[in-house]
Amino acid sequence: MELSNDEIRRYSRHLILPEVGLAGQKKIKATSVLCIGAGGLGSPIAMYLAAAGIGKLGIVDFDTVDYSNLQRQILHSDADVGRPKAQSAKETIHGINPNCEVVLHETRITSENALDLIRPYDIVVDGTDNFPTRYLANDACVLLRKPNVYGSIFRFEGQASVFAPHLGGPCYRCLYPEPPPPGMVPSCAEGGVLGVLPGIVGCIQTTEILKLALGKGSSLVGRLVLFNALDMKFRELKLRRDPECPVCGEHPTIKELIDYEQFCGIAPEAEATADPDEVTVQDMKQALDNPALGIKVIDVREPDEYEIAHIDGVPLLPMSQLRQRFTELDPNQQYYLHCKVGERSLQAVGFLKQQGFKYAKSVKGGINAWSEEIDSNVPRY
């Protein structure tokens, strides 16, 4: 592994660091990293890794760029909206450092392909935004003995660690043995996220990757960094390996990849579309256009969201007040509930059914689907 004269100039600020030097820069060049996700976390990770001279960068992403991504996913620009994220990412990375070999995996990472995807790489970095993929990446990395550089973000808070049982540390399951109940932790689309937050957490992950490549410093193996942007505070938790961990413990019960959607309590997509608790935005339009049908539509989003966009004539009963205020509703009345994308309204329907409501349905896709399919004058957010 040699560096060209151009590379020596490019990496000169690294080369003069005694902790890096020529030998270290060659180690960075010899390192391959698989980045799962080219979104909020994947953006700073991919850009800084490429700039730092990582030799090979794999990117797993099957999504396309949406306008609402641009607030934080700095790999992608305005002109990329509608394009595959992986391709947009490759162009941006190539623009930063053409010496970085970018390998695109334009597919969803699954239990069937995860081991083959991860096997050729030295380090895996978790830029996922959902629990099934996070547990899948964890288990695959434990089975293949690859370091898994973890980060996650939520609203104003983030966390990061390095999971590497083969280096003596814990894995993600040692920290979180069970996934949260489905719908308990809102996604960025439902809960919101400060745009710069993935920048900070992604840069922590990138720092850890470079240290692993160099073999320098003390890594986040066995430590969890917690960051709160509102208070501008970093905290640290010591993590221990759980000897009872089902994947990295002394008597592992998970010896191959499992069904992670099922493990996280999420119905497969084919079943989800046939959910008897859901109706479409077309059904909602019919209900609004024909009061004689006797169906009442209720918006369960929060007041701030109502201010951004709402459907005329649909009253608000925020999800956060539903437990206190559901008695205002009639358990024999037929209701359609909508939120932003259909996650919270489905939870609200579940809650109302527990309270004995007979005819509550959730509007699939929420007000965003309404904007796309019924009335484009309603802004999407």
Q: Which is nearer to Zn ion, 53 or 151 (CB)?
A: 151
Q: Give me the least distance between CB of 360 and Zn ion, in Å please.
A: 40
Query: Tokens standing for 240?
Result: 């221990």
Binding residue for Zn ion, selected from 46, 59, 174, 314, defined by CB under 5 A: 174
Q: Which is nearer to Zn ion, 108 or 166 (CB)?
A: 166
Q: Give me the least distance between CB of 139 and Zn ion, in Å please.
A: 9
Contact stretch for Zn ion (CB under 5 A) within 186-194, 244-252, 254-262, 265-273? 244-252
DSSP secondary structure of 143-169: HHT--EEEEEEEBTEEEEEEE-GGGT-
Q: Give me the least distance between CB of 126 and Zn ion, in Å please.
A: 15
Cα–Cα distance for residue pair 240/248, rounded to 1 Å: 12
Residues in Cβ contact with 6 at an 8 Å cutoff, skipping those fewer than 6 apart: none
Give me the residue whose beta carbon is nearest to Zn ion. Answer: 245
Q: Which is nearer to Zn ion, 58 or 165 (CB)?
A: 165
How large is the C-alpha radius of gyration of the chain? 23
| Secondary structure element (H or E) that encloses residue 317, with its range | none
Cα–Cα distance for residue pair 268/256, rounded to 1 Å: 20
| Secondary structure element (H or E) that encloses residue 57, with its range | strand 56-60
Instruction: Residue 42: name the closest of 69, 82, 80 by CA.
Output: 69
Residues annotated as part of the active site = 188, 339
Q: Give me the least distance between CB of 246 and Zn ion, in Å please.
A: 8
245 binds Zn ion (CB under 5 A): yes
Binding residue for Zn ion, selected from 27, 76, 146, 173, defined by CB under 5 A: 173
204 binds Zn ion (CB under 5 A): no
Q: Which is nearer to Zn ion, 135 or 227 (CB)?
A: 135
Q: Pairing between strand 101-105 and 157-163? A: unpaired
Instruction: Residue 222: name the closest of 199, 242, 204, 205 by CA.
Output: 242
Instruction: Show the site string, 80-119: x = touches Zn ion by CB under 5 A, - = not.
Output: ----------------------------------------
Interface ranges with Zn ion (CB under 5 A): 171, 173-174, 245, 248
